[in-house]
Amino acid sequence: MTPGGAMSQEQVAVTAAEPATDGRRARGDRSRRAVLDRAVQVASVQGLDGLTFGSLAQAAPVNKSGIAGLFGSKEGLQVAAVARAREVFRQAVVLPARDGDPGLPMLWRTVLAWCAYSADRVFEGGCFFRTAGAELDARAPGPVRDAVVTALRDWDAYLARLVRDAVARGELGDGTDVDQLVFVIDGALDRADLASLLLDDAAAYDRARAAVRAVLLAAGASQGLLREPGAS
């Protein structure tokens, strides 16, 4: 402002431009989100290599050049899709399970939430990260593969933290092999996702919950803390 309190011509011009700039940013954010929301669904079915600017332009409210402008390259789009998939996974699995008692009950709620996430097809192709992991497991390291590896390692670290918390609270035995328990949990959940999709196994999630419950009971868990969905 000028010393007398009035705005200079330059300040008036800048102030007038701010709403337009904010509006463009908001539209850009909405476009980016719309593209990524479709991209994660496509990638869950066709793999990350199945993402193209052209195919997404047919399903999202952004043309091919606009998508290229948002992400720069196919690799940029793929990395952004992995990041968006992590957000969706967190909303579907991690956050719902945090509402309640900590320790073993939270670990068990997380297992139930994961089964619901896969069974409800939050991603059209089942678990996004199982699909991405199978697609990229033999590839050379690179930004896309590294993003998927980081996501999977972070998930394992989160499960390990829940297991350690249950051990610290005396809800699992002191001698619990945390890494082995996480490995078994991961294996049961991934197999349920695969069996449900590929083999059309309606009992896949029941089997996964039973497998996780058995390994938790073997580690010293109380049956009362491992209730089935809908049980009182």
Higher pLDDT, 88 or 22: 88
Closest to 44 measured CA to CA, from 115, 133, 132, 117: 132
- What tens digit of pLDDT does each residue of 6-24 get? 555 555 454 555 565 566 6
CA 170 – CA 103 distance, rounded (Å): 9
Tens of pLDDT along 114-136?
A: 999 999 999 999 999 999 999 99
DSSP E strand boundaries for the chain: none
Long-range residue pairs from 134-137, CB within 8 A, at least 24 positions apart, any chain:
135/47, 135/48, 135/49, 136/48
What mean pLDDT, rounded, does the chain reach?
89
Which residues are within 8 A (CB) of 31 and not within 5 positions of it... i.e. 6 or more apart?
A: 60, 61, 62, 66, 70
Residue 197 structure tokens: 């999709």
Structure-token pair, residue 85: 């998939």
CA 36 to the chain's CA centroid: 13
Task: Kindly report the number of other CB atoms within 10 A of residue 135's CB atom.
Answer: 18
Total H helices, total E strands in the chain: 10, 0
Burial of 138 (C-beta count, 10 Å sphere; 0-12/13-18/19+): exposed
Q: What is the pLDDT of residues 153-201, one digit of tens each?
A: 999 999 999 999 999 999 999 999 999 999 999 999 999 999 999 999 9
Q: What is the pLDDT of residue 10?
A: 57
pLDDT recorded at residue 2:
43
Rounded distance between C-alpha atoms, residue 39 and residue 132, angstroms: 13
